[in-house]
Every structure is written in C-alpha cells, then in structure tokens.
Structure 1
Amino acid sequence: MNETWVIDGGSPGPVSSATVVEALRARADDSRFETWLTSSSGRSLALVTNTERAMVMLLEDEGDPGEHAVTPGAEGSSNGFVLSNGQDDEYPDADTVPVDEALRIVAHIVSTGSWPTDAPRVVDR
C-alpha cells in the first residue's frame, strides 16, 4: 500500500505531490504559516514558514525528534515564523531553507515517502 498524506485540519482527503504545493501556498496567503501533514503510516511532516524561508521536519511517530531540512553554511537567523498558537519564532538560517526549496522537499516526500537525495538534512534522533 502506498503512503498517503492529509493536511491536518485542512483537507478532507489525501493530497498529492501535484496539489500539496498549491495548498501550502494558499495556507500561507491566508496567514496560516504552520502546516502539519499526517501520513497513512502515522508519520508527520511539518512546514513552518515566514514566506521567505521555511522549517521542514519529518517525524516518524509521536515523540520522535525527527529530521529537518538545512542550509549548510548559512549564517544569521530569520524571524516571523508564526505558529498556529500565535507564538512567533526565530530560527537560524542554517536550520531552514528558502521557501521554494521547502515546497520542493514537501512535494517529494508526499510523492515518494523519502527526502530528496539532493536536499541536505539533519537527523535529530
């Protein structure tokens, strides 16, 4: 069975790699900068954006520290990562990626179930 993904609180059914990017852009346009997707196998995929950069995390199950996309060598930090509870976070740029790269990573994970081989990540487990 292929793994399917749904946007928590946002989609009545599974999203595809072809529709997830449009859905994530629409959520950001609606000032919903934190999105969680849940897979049919129980994994979670998170995207938090400030519309320029994004944190992308993949968790195997509840309590898993997971893994996240990175930009090796990036310096500085960016703020404006507003969570659904109103918390406004700042992240090191090395722990985030440009938003277009984040969307590419999410679409690839939704399509294949795994990280793109060319997308650097840090495993936090």
Structure 2
Amino acid sequence: MTNAERAMVLLLDGEGDPGEHAAVDPGAHGSSEGFILANGQYDEYPNEDAVAIGEAFRIVDHIVSEGSWPADARWVSDR
C-alpha cells in the first residue's frame, strides 16, 4: 500500500499470515500518513516500516520476476 511518496511492501503466504515487510532504515525516525486501505481506514506508518515509492517498485518487480526479496533489500519478518 502507498501514500504516493512511501509504500508499505508486504509479502504474505496467505490470508491471516502476518508476513514480512520491507524496511528502508530500521532506525529511521518519524512517520508517514495518508495510507488509505480498501475498507476506507486511514493509516499512518513509522518511516522505518515504509520505503520510498521508487524503491517499492524495484522490490515488487524483483519479487514478481524472481519470487524472492532482492538480495540488497532490508526486510523484517512479522511472523
């Protein structure tokens, strides 16, 4: 999901799976708002849990084409 500047990139194994998410900088400060979910919920996420939109596209492209996270992408397991 995205707010057009940053994106929360999640990789899930199925419904109910907490999954894994990309993290640009585990020590980043602040948060970004404007993430609107399909159910209309308006969310805000810590910047350590979201990546710049260009990085999000690169990560998603790699996951779709290769089936795994890019080797240089930081990610966190939420399982």
- The percent identity for this pair of structures is 67
When the two structures are superposed, what TM-score results if normalisation uses the length of structure 2? 0.94
**CA deviation map 1:51-89 (0-9, x unaligned):** 000000001122211000002221100100011211110
Distance (whole Å) between structure 1 residues aligned to residue 7 and residue 16 of structure 2: 22
2:70 alignment partner, SS class: coil
Please give the root-mean-square deviation of Cα atoms over the aligned residues, in Å: 0.8
Task: From 55, 63, 67, give the equivalent of 2:20.
Answer: 67
Q: Which structure 2 segments of 5+ residues have no match?
A: none
How many aligned residue pairs are there? 78
Match of 2:44 in 1: 90
Q: Which has the higher contact order (CA 8 A, sep 6+)?
A: 2
- Offset of 1:118 from its aligned partner? 0.4
Match of 1:28 in 2: none
Work out which of the two has the higher radius of gyration on C-alpha atoms and give 1 or 2.
Answer: 1
Distance (whole Å) between structure 2 residues aligned to residue 112 and residue 95 of structure 1: 23
Q: Which amino acid in the other structure matches residue 84 of structure 1?
A: A
Q: Which structure 1 segments of 5+ residues have no match?
A: 1-47
Distance (whole Å) between structure 2 residues aligned to residue 122 and residue 64 of structure 1: 14
